[in-house]
Structure 1
Amino acid sequence: MKIAVFDFDGVIVDSYNAILEVINEISRIKKIPSLSKEDILNKSTKELIKDLKIRWFEIPKYYKLAKKVVHLNKDLILLNPQIIEMFQYLNKDKIQLIILSSNSKNLIKDIIQKNLNYISFIEIIGDVSLFKKSKKIKEVMNKYKVNYNDIIYIGDEVRDIIAAKKVSISSIAVLWGKESEALLSKEKPNYIVKNGQELSYILNEFSKKK
């Protein structure tokens, strides 16, 4: 069995505008200037947390707030055209698909049902702590009895690449999400892709590996 684990925000959907609402709300609460689009694209999540003057012990509180604001702005979340293209070329019979995300599981399931109901995901894992994705990936590996050669993680953030490295699996960074190519390249993912067709090619080749 080969498994492709997808991040949700920034990979499957374009949630930039909803995330911007989160950042604006936190900036308002903290009484600081809102961040520019350039700041958001060129800084990791850890760097953004620092810029928003969120202390580490405050992260759970603001994580909960972020999910609430995103839910209120869920109509701003759109299926990414690149992922539609990817599924057109992906050999879905050769690879199992999972979503693993910090976003709300219920919100993810709702968006998938409305926009990608023709795609079968064997599991949707939501509400994952911001910096504990590696633990969840490990749980997936144990649950489905796959080793590190049989699973690959697709994300759009530095923390996604780091999570994959912690459990010794390959990672693919997509360039249509939250963080810039310059930022992602520093963490040296196994692959960087610019469009859905490139992503499907890598996954199709991955599915053929013994």
Structure 2
Amino acid sequence: MGHAGHRARRQSPPLSPLPFRLVVFDFDGTLADSFPWFASILNEVATRYRFQRIAEDDTEMLRGLDARAIIRHLGIPAWKLPFITRNMHALATRDIAAIHLFPGITAMLDALTHSGIRLAIVSSNVEPNIRTVLGPREAGLIGHYACGASLFGKARRLRSLIRTTGERPADILYIGDEIRDAVAARDAGCAFGAVAWGYTRLDALAKCDPALIFQTPRDISASLAKIPVASPSVTNPQHPG
């Protein structure tokens, strides 16, 4: 998925010494492998709310678009979006056993936590669904949840999170898999890290000029979880006397 030639890379804004003090994750498509479930129920939702059904050969084309372009393509009026979102949350709760974390996510969250980086989630999904998929142990690693954001409301949630945590935007990395995640990070003044395994194709995400691109969850911990090694303490020799 995406271009193998892309590797984790750094651009502006400048990184903190850790290099980031707070890493914020999107959930669906970033931590959770929910796209197969999403694709399986989308036409059910389309029938209920009377928007265009998705043909199988349209999927890759739609994965290259931003959310506004997808909505236009499907012919969804803005007034229907809150109703569709609530229905999707209910369906996710119904089918929660079908949604799992991507391989390597647990080890990555552990590595970031052990390196002293604070973790948070900003997502359009609801917190109970997110906690269920994470499981009690991994859910406990997340210090802040800002969930249930509207389709285009993630920047507001990020700004609220910045105020709550007291961190500077320059010390925060928002990691996501959609163009709207990149836009939210930019609008909140945070750096954006793009993942290659989510809903949006990596070639489309790369056009958003992410600060970092991750091919695998392991790339996240390899790039960010830099645990300082303490210098050996020097003790003065004991002199008799």
The answer for unaligned runs of 5 or more in structure 1 is none
TM-score between both structures, scaled by the size of structure 1: 0.88
| Of 15-24 and 157-166, the range deviating more from structure 2 | 15-24
Say if 1:89 and 1:197, in contact at 8 Å, map to a contact too. Answer: no
Q: Provide the secondary structure at the position in 1 that maps to 2:200.
A: coil
**CA offsets 1:139-164 (integer angstroms, 9 cap, x no match):** 11111111112111010000000000
Say if 2:172 and 2:191, in contact at 8 Å, map to a contact too. Answer: yes
Q: How many angstroms does 1:7 deviate by?
A: 0.6
Question: Considering only CA atoms, is the larger Rg found in Structure 1 or Structure 2?
Answer: 2
Q: Give the alignment of 1:14-163 within 5 angstroms.
A: 14-29=33-48, 30=50, 32-36=52-56, 37-87=59-109, 89-90=111-112, 92-113=114-135, 116=138, 120-163=141-184
Say if 2:109 and 2:138, in contact at 8 Å, map to a contact too. Answer: no
**CA offsets 1:123-174 (integer angstroms, 9 cap, x no match):** 2221111111111111111111111121110100000000000011101010
Match of 2:196 among 151, 175, 188: 175
What is the distance in 2 between the residues matched to 1:61 and 1:102?
Answer: 14
Question: Number of residues paired by the alignment?
Answer: 206
Query: Percent of pairs identical after alignment?
Result: 26
Compared CA separation, residues 111 and 160, structure 1 to 2 (3 A): same
What is the distance in 2 between the residues matched to 1:39 and 1:22?
Answer: 18
Say if 1:11 and 1:83, in contact at 8 Å, map to a contact too. Answer: no
Q: How many angstroms does 1:115 deviate by?
A: 6.9
Tell me whether 1:186 sits opposite 2:207 in the alignment. yes
What is the distance in 2 between the residues matched to 1:135 and 1:17?
Answer: 28
**How much is the aligned-residue C-alpha RMSD, in angstroms?**
2.2
Moved over 3 A (4+): 87-91
What is the distance in 1 between the residues matched to 2:51 and 2:76?
Answer: 12
1:10 alignment counterpart: 29
| Of 44-53 and 86-95, the range deviating more from structure 2 | 86-95
1:199 alignment counterpart: 220
Structure that is richer in helix per residue: 1
What is the distance in 2 between the residues matched to 1:20 and 1:102?
Answer: 17
What is the distance in 2 between the residues matched to 1:123 and 1:194?
Answer: 25
Q: Provide the secondary structure at the position in 2 that maps to 1:81.
A: coil
Equivalent position amino acid for 1:42 in 2: G
Equivalent position amino acid for 1:33 in 2: R
Equivalent position amino acid for 1:190 in 2: A
| Of 165-174 and 81-90, the range deviating more from structure 2 | 81-90
| Of 160-169 and 196-205, the range deviating more from structure 2 | 196-205
